Structure 1
Amino acid sequence: MRLRRLLPVLGLLAWTGCAAAQESSPPRDAAGAWELALDGSFRRCGLTLAAEAGPVGQALRFPAGCRRALPVVNGLAGWRQDGELIQLLDREGQPVLAFASPEGEGPRSAESLGGERYSLAQGGVRPAVPDVPLVTPAALSTLPSARETLRDGLAVAPATAAGVTGLYTLDRFVEKDVCRVRLKADGAQVQEDCRDPGLALFDPTAWHYEAGRLVLVARRGHSVELIPVGEGRWRRDPEIGTTFVLRRVEP
């Protein structure tokens, strides 16, 4: 008799334990491929929210190029799900960015402590703000600012995006013409016989030009910004790491 009376209680406890376990684990659809983007810019990065445990929360993975494209990822060590909230965590397990579910369609949105707004879209779907034509109307009509014009002495940025298109070679600190990339109106393409593993791995497939800045976008989504340093010549901004200079070799 006692056993019969205890069975409903044990069943209720088992059900409660299962329900608590389900609530404490992240939803299955949260793990997978996502894209993090800085609102109002071309800077974006592909993230993998892994299902397995990481140093804090669940494991978080991203390409090395993301550290330059989006410096905020340098402080990330994991992620977790808190109800409908997706949190990207620092090394202490504290949320750096907390993305709530959007109202209707569209990416999740979060604001950093520095006041920057970021978007998080699932499955590599690009957020609406950076989703712009490769050659923007502003690039066709806007001259570079005085700050951009004088940044490198007499270097002047092209007045239009049409002035940027053409064939460029990558010059390293010692070697010249180690790899060539063509910037076309509909995208970017690394040419055959590229002898630079860095650019081949970056593999730019798109580009943007606006307000005197040239932005190369990699196949995986991260990007690098370049500023003019002379007629037909561009270098990475900021100038960090190895030398990265593009030089036009064809009008």
Structure 2
Amino acid sequence: MTPRVGIALAALLALVAGLDQARAQDASTLKKDMIGQWELSTTERSKTCVVTLKGDTTPQGLKLELEPGCAAALPFTKDIAAWSIKGLDIVRLQDATGGPVIDFTEVESGILEGLRQGEGIYILQNLAAARSLAKSMDQMIGDWSMVRGNGQAICGLTLTNTEAGGDNFQVFLKPKCDAAVAAFAPTQWRLDHGQMLLMSQSGETWQFEADDNAQWRRVPDSADPLIMLRGQ
């Protein structure tokens, strides 16, 4: 082996070692971030289960605890015996043999998605964040009034917690709405990244952002804004 080849080989081996170390650090960081309480749920959160991921090692993998109602809410959880990190970014809930019951990957901070063939997508979300979202959702349920910037009421709406598919819920317009709102005719709503979304059957979406706890303003803003106020 020539000196030049030897140097190149040594550099390559050092690069590989560096990549392996980086992968190990990524996996170690993910493991540390995952330790704690999580909500495992269907996408619309109609069925939920609290999972506590721990750092202790067991013969099956890393230790976890499922709340007593998990198997009734999500039957596949009865097969979960442990958890582990696979590769760089996969959080695996696994059976006693180490086989995957469901694999999750992060889609945004604190929220992971996993697919079970024949069943659909499930969400693993930080428990505190999930309960905060649920509380926010509960606070949104009820009667609202859509008003112009001058305070003139132009439509009444009722936001419900009745599922309408996906992450959406039913919304109902009250009689005598402004023509523009009646033509839009929203049938569904949801909270999404801090915004209130109203959606029509045609696929049109109106977005509102909170000014404060009781007032939401349509975005992008305009000279004659639309504002959502609680039950007026």
Instruction: Name whichever structure is richer in strand by fraction.
Output: 2
Same fold (TM over 0.5): no
TM-score, reference length from structure 2:
0.45
